[in-house]
Structure 1
Amino acid sequence: MIKRYLGILPIAAIFFALSAHADVVLKDESEILGKWKVTAEAAKLDGEKKAVIVEWDFKNGGVLETIATDAGGRTNEMHIPVKYSVEGGVIKKQVSPGREKYEDCKVVEKNGSEMILKCQFLYFFLTKI
């Protein structure tokens, strides 16, 4: 009997490890509406995080306004509106204004006011403001 349980333990551990990183499926845009501070970005989920000074404001009607602060530049803030939608549980975000090219951003983790997004090339770590 104990041998059987010991044989099941590694399988259960693998199952729980995989389910811990299962993507969060969004029902609709109401789950992300509002302002989020992008605290960091990284190429890998567990990789080195690069600090950024950016806010994302998910607005009703499918507009995501990016507010970037450039402390060392000539402009204090840049406001860049792009289109977004929530389809099939993921965020479909316009790559750049004026282009009809979109990228999928999956919610890897959403816990209270913290959220991690996996977009095409980067992970974004966000905190609700």
Structure 2
Amino acid sequence: MKTITTLISLLALLSAFAAHADVKLEDNSKILGKWKVTAESLGLEKNKKLLNVSWDFQKDGTLMTKGEDTLGRTSEMDIAVKYFVENGVVRKQTSPGREKYETCTAVELSHTDLILKCTNLYFFLTRK
């Protein structure tokens, strides 16, 4: 009985890891277009901070970010940064004009949803 319980626990653990296996991107074709960033979080199972931001992955390697500027004098901000897909992951500029990049791994990817694990945050996106 103990062996069966251990085996069932092990299978459940393995299926949990398989559910969150990283997605290897061959190029940018699966992420091209406009996405709504609905939330960010420190982890998949952590509390999510809701966002009202959109990302537009363009063919030329530009990631256009548009969002509410809650701390500034303008109601909206537009930011363009560079990005590219390399070795199965997205590499994007941390801020415009700087050649410092962060790595973002696609944790989940479907036709309508994308979860990116970047250096410090998880981003939850829905295709527009």
TM-score relative to the length of structure 2 = 0.90
Deviation at 1:75, TM superposition (A): 1.3
What is the RMSD of the two structures over their aligned residues, measured on CA atoms?
1.9
Structure 2 counterpart SS, 1:31 = coil
Alignment-mate amino acid for residue 97 of structure 2: G
**Residue in structure 1 matched with residue 125 of structure 2 by the alignment:** 126
Alignment-mate amino acid for residue 74 of structure 1: R
**Residue in structure 2 matched with residue 15 of structure 1 by the alignment:** 14
Runs of 5+ unmatched residues, structure 1: none
Match runs of 1:69-108 below 5 Å: 69-70=68-69, 73-108=72-107
Alignment-mate amino acid for residue 126 of structure 2: T
**Residue in structure 2 matched with residue 57 of structure 1 by the alignment:** 56
Please say which structure displays the higher CA radius of gyration.
1
Q: How many residues align?
A: 128
d(CA) in 1 for partners of 2:64 and 2:8?
A: 47
Runs of 5+ unmatched residues, structure 2: none
Structure 1 counterpart SS, 2:17 = helix
| Further displaced range: 104-113 or 93-102 | 104-113
Alignment-mate amino acid for residue 21 of structure 1: H
TM-score relative to the length of structure 1 = 0.89
d(CA) in 2 for partners of 1:63 and 1:26?
A: 17
